[in-house]
Amino acid sequence: MNGLGNVFNLLAYAAAAVFILGFLYKVIVYFKTPSPLNIPTTPGPKTSGGVVMRLIPEILFFRSLLKGGAAEKILWFGGWVFHVCFLLIVLRHLRYFTYPVPGFVMSFQQIGIWAGLIFPLALLILIVRRFTNDRLATISLFADYFVLLLIIGIGLTGILLKYFMRTSLVEVKAFILGLVTFSPAPMPDSTMFTIHFLLVLVLLVYFPFSKLMHAWGVLVAPTRAQADNPREVRHMTPWA
Amino acid sequence: MADFKTPELTGAVTTPKITPGASRHIKQFIAKPELMEKVGFPPQKASDWKEQFIRKMGEVLKKYKSVKVFLDICVRCGACTDKCHYYLGTGDPRNMPVYRQELMRTVYRKYFTTGGKLFGGLAAAREISDELLDEWWVYFYQCSECRRCSVYCPYGIDTAEITMAAREIMDSIGMGSKYNLEIVHKAETIGNNLGMNPDALKSTWEFVEEEIEEKTGVRAKLPVDVEGADVLLATPSADFFAEPHIYSLEGYAKVFHQAGISWTLSTHASEGGNFGMFIGNYNHMKTINKRIWDAARDLKVKRVIAGECGHAWRAMYAFSNTLNGPFDFLQHKSPQHICEFTLDLIKKGALKLDKSANDEFTVTYHDSCNVARASSMGNTPGDQFTIPRELINAVCNKFVEMDPNTTGERTFCCGGGGGVLTDEVVEIRVKGAMPRMQEYKKIKDSHGANFFALICAICKAQFTKVFPYYGIEMEEVGGVHQLISNALVMGAKEGV
Amino acid sequence: MPTLEFEGKTYEVDEEGYLMDWSQWNEGLAGVMAKEDGLELTEAHWDVIRFLREYFEKYQIAPMIKILTKELAKKYGKEKGNTKYLYELYPAGPAKQACRYAGLPKPTGCV
């Protein structure tokens, strides 16, 4: 199993590298691309402190979505629940990445499990609305279904691993810790775990090249991240 | 009037069924080669236009963070799909903001993303083609750059930025809008969108003076090129030509006169508007904007005030400091809006007002998109909504509000903004006005509204044109300073 | 380039039928354009056209609508010296239809 273990180890490192470097590359590109004009959507805050206060509810509560109608309320519910569950699940999974496991990670175990169960349902809302609403059906692309199905796949294999096709947690932890500490350990002997793990790698590789970059974009989109201060500050960029 | 059906006013804005291609036939005229060359663009499409197109797109992606980020991060959540007045009025899916943007995003994927280069059609990437370009031409000129979609987008994605970039790319390959470029050319060479030379301006302004005198017995001057005046007024040239625009011009003149403020118009900077913005061209925007500051410098004024014009206010408030600032030579270092200025005078008690002069009117106020979502007034965010309303309430007894879902930052575009205000596309203008017309009709029926107050020259021209299509008298369209003009008691000099 | 034929001569017009060269204009052309629109040109119509041309010769631009209506008021009295009456004469809009008949270029801008 060690040889195969090495292949997975290599894949994991490759995927992590693509994710980190790809993400950083995008962050740098966004940072370096100038915004020649002051274009906040108004009314907007007049100071950078105000911008932070504008962005926090956007990030934590998807505030602008709440301005919409019934369709956006459903979207908001599905999307918000999905993102929160995702976060809780990631926090719960930190127990596989750490030794000794920090206390706060342990405190997320139970809620993380619930999140894992709700997670596919939230994603189901997001996917069903794509083909039941004629506007959504028109704008949806293969990529939109792909990423939803990918994440549903990750969620379902996770549930299967937890409840139906249990694998040795000791082996899983040894494998993941091995990755984290650069001392590769063998892949656990579980097909379901292998699938779960590979799907996560696909997600990592896909992330920086896809719309998932909204995770960073929400922070830097000039319509929200700029202060409405043209009277106080002369907004300047290199090329203009 | 034309070979299309004006939407019915049912009293509610409903989301239409998707009708692919419903407005595919509505196209602006393409500028002739001579005009293109006059404004510094290639005369027409060359044989290698596709390479030029992609090259320009690459350049835009490097120059504008908005375009780059927005093209990357849209998740197609659909929150914008029913927010655009053109979609609501036509049902054409390409008028859903995200699907309009898709016209650019698909090309972006093909030439600028790994996924698109590797997987092509599977990644929804398309090569640029004559057919796709024609769709660009149609639908990027069916966007009024009003930013309503941006308000509802979880990331603030603003289709206006994409539209401006698209128009810039099309211009750069020799495909420009006749309407927009004629105006850019006139603004840069003659000094205003209409193309009025100094003699025409002077005679018109004199005429307006006579009008005021005839109506009030007081000759409120419209001073021309007065060196050393305190205020330079830069207002849309439509104020010198069209109705109801001219009544607001009378209003400004009367306000200045009554408050005893020395002011001037400029024959050099006889335009507040800036169509360089609509076509997304930085240099044209700068050139047009520069005239105002050159005039301010030459005339040694203390401050610059913008008249009633939405996009002019955006260009002046949000962009001019970047384009042609800093304005250290002025006492007031940033341009002011006439509404801020007048309200300030009223609060100081500098104007004597007789509200009853507007008693025949039940007034409602339409927030213009560029004032509402692309600029501000006063000191606190949102003052761009309260200041005009305070003004109206100061001069009218009967003021009513339309549905709050359609005012303030959520206001609907008039349907003619962003360089769409041209006759060959009147069908999209009429249909795009539908959401606003529904709300106006509703408030007419419920509260007897009969005066539709505006602070935008494009809104005024657009609604004057489309009201009759909906069976409403065009005389109901008017300016905020028109109402002020009505209520202002002339002669009795009190206050300052 | 679209054209307009009249008495054996060809005139260049733009996409909307405005004469490309205003100096080529003659009264007959106005008649042809009006006929295409199914409009009968009365003396009042002609007054508008003549005034537009005079003004344009002086200022290279069409006059403000208000100036035009005032001119009408001088001759026909207050009840006809208004925008409404102008629209009765020229249903497609005084600036746009009357200017076209008078051979003037179309007014541009936010109008």
Banded model confidence at residue B297, pLDDT cuts 50, 70, 90: very high
Whether residue A1 is predicted with pLDDT greater than 50 in this model: the reply is: no
pLDDT of residue B1: 44
Phi, psi of B106 (to 5 degrees): -65, -40
Q: Is the pLDDT of residue C104 over 70?
A: yes
CA angle B412, B413, B416 (to 5 degrees): 155
**Residues 6 or more apart in contact with residue B420 via CB below 8 angstroms:** B28, B141, B142, B143, B144, B428, B429, B432
Mean pLDDT (whole number) for B87-100 = 98
Of residues B72, B77, B156, nearest to A223 (C-beta): B156
Among B137, B155, B176, give the residue marking a domain's end. B176
CA distance C21 to chain B (A): 15
Phi, psi of C4 (to 5 degrees): -125, 130
Question: What tokens appear for B93 in the block?
Answer: 């899916």
Average pLDDT estimate for B221-236: 98
**Cα–Cα distance measured from residue B372 to residue B382, given in angstroms and rounded to the nearest whole number:** 8
- Give me the amino acid identity at B400: V
Residue C16 is assigned to a structural domain of this protein? yes
How far apart, in whole angstroms, are the C-alpha atoms of residue B139 and residue B27? Answer: 8
In this predicted model, what pLDDT tens digit does every residue of A63-114 receive, in sequence order?
999 999 999 999 999 999 999 999 999 999 999 999 999 999 999 999 999 9
- CA dihedral sign, ordered A170, A175, A176, A180: positive
Residue extents of the structural domains in chain A: 1-31+143-222, 59-140
User: Looking at the partner chain, which of B186, B199, B458 has a beta carbon nearest the beta carbon of C59?
Assistant: B199
pLDDT band, very low/low/confident/very high, at B495 (cuts 50, 70, 90): very low
Q: What is the pLDDT, as a whole number, of residue A4?
A: 57
Q: What mean pLDDT is predicted for residues A127-148?
A: 97
In this prediction, residues A143-153 reach a mean pLDDT of 98
Q: Give the pLDDT score at C1.
A: 77
Mean of the pLDDT values across residues B233-259? 97
Nearest CA in chain A to B81: A135
Give the mean pLDDT of B155-177.
98
Are B56 and B112 members of one domain?
A: yes
Residue B209 lies in a domain: yes
Domain of C95, CATH number, reads 1.10.10.370
ipTM of the complex: 0.96
Chains in touch with A (≥3 Cβ pairs < 8 A)? B
CATH number of the domain enclosing B138 = 1.10.1060
Residue A5 pLDDT grade (very low, low, confident, very high; cuts 50, 70, 90): low
Statement: residue C93 has pLDDT above 90: no
Q: C34 pLDDT exceeds 50? A: yes
| H/E segment holding residue B320 | helix B320-324
Q: In the listed set B157, B176, B195, which residue is the last one of a domain according to the structure?
A: B176
Picking from B176, B208, B226, the residue at the C-terminal end of a domain is B176
Domain of B482 in residue numbering reads as 185-487
Query: Above 60 in pLDDT, residue C50?
Result: yes
Please name the residue of chain A whose CA is at the shortest distance from the CA of residue B160: A39
Question: Chain B: residue nearest A133 by CA?
Answer: B78
Can you give the pLDDT at residue B28?
98
Q: B478: helix, coil or strand?
A: strand
Residue C63 in domain: yes
Residues B117 and B204 grouped into a single domain: no
**What is the per-residue pLDDT for B493?**
62
Whether B154 and B287 map to the same domain: the answer is: no
Contacts of A210 in chain B (CB under 8 A): 115
Residue C107 within a domain: no
Q: Is residue B28 part of a domain?
A: no
The yes-or-no answer on residue C99 being catalytic is no
Report the domain count for chain B: 2
Measured CA distances, B438 to B149, B435, C95 (Å): 19, 5, 28
Residues B163, B236, single domain; the answer is: no
Average pLDDT of every residue of chain A = 95
Total number of domains constituting chain C: 1
Contact B74 A58 (CB under 8 A): no
- DSSP secondary structure, B239-304, as one string: GGTSTTHHHHHHHHHHHHHHHT--EEB-SSS-----HHHHTT-HHHHHHHHHHHHHHHHHHT-SEE
Range of the domain at C49: 3-101
Assess if residue C48 is contained within a domain. Answer: yes
B461 has a chain C CB within 8 A of its CB = yes
Q: Are B451 and B398 in contact (CB under 8 A)?
A: no
pLDDT at B113 over 70: yes
Using pLDDT thresholds of 50, 70 and 90, give the confidence band for residue B159: very high
Q: Which has the minimum average pLDDT: B152-166, B474-488, C79-93?
A: C79-93
Beta strands B303-306 and B336-337, pairing class: parallel
* Nearest CB to B282 within list A36, A64, A69: A36
Q: What confidence tier does B56 reach under pLDDT thresholds 50, 70, 90?
A: very high
Check pLDDT > 60 for residue B142. yes
User: Of the candidates B443, B442, B303, B307, which has an alpha carbon nearest to the alpha carbon of residue B364?
Assistant: B443
Verify that B209 and B166 share a domain, yes or no.
no
Residue B496: per-residue pLDDT: 45
pLDDT (0 to 100) of residue A48 = 96
> Over pLDDT 70: what percentage of chain B?
99
Instruction: Quick: pLDDT tens for B399-438.
Output: 999 999 999 999 999 999 999 999 999 999 999 999 999 9
The shortest C-alpha distance from B256 to chain C (Å) reads: 22
Please state, rounded to an integer, the average pLDDT across all residues of chain C. Answer: 91
How would you classify the pairing of strands B263-264 and B231-234? parallel
Are B196 and B57 part of one and the same domain?
A: no
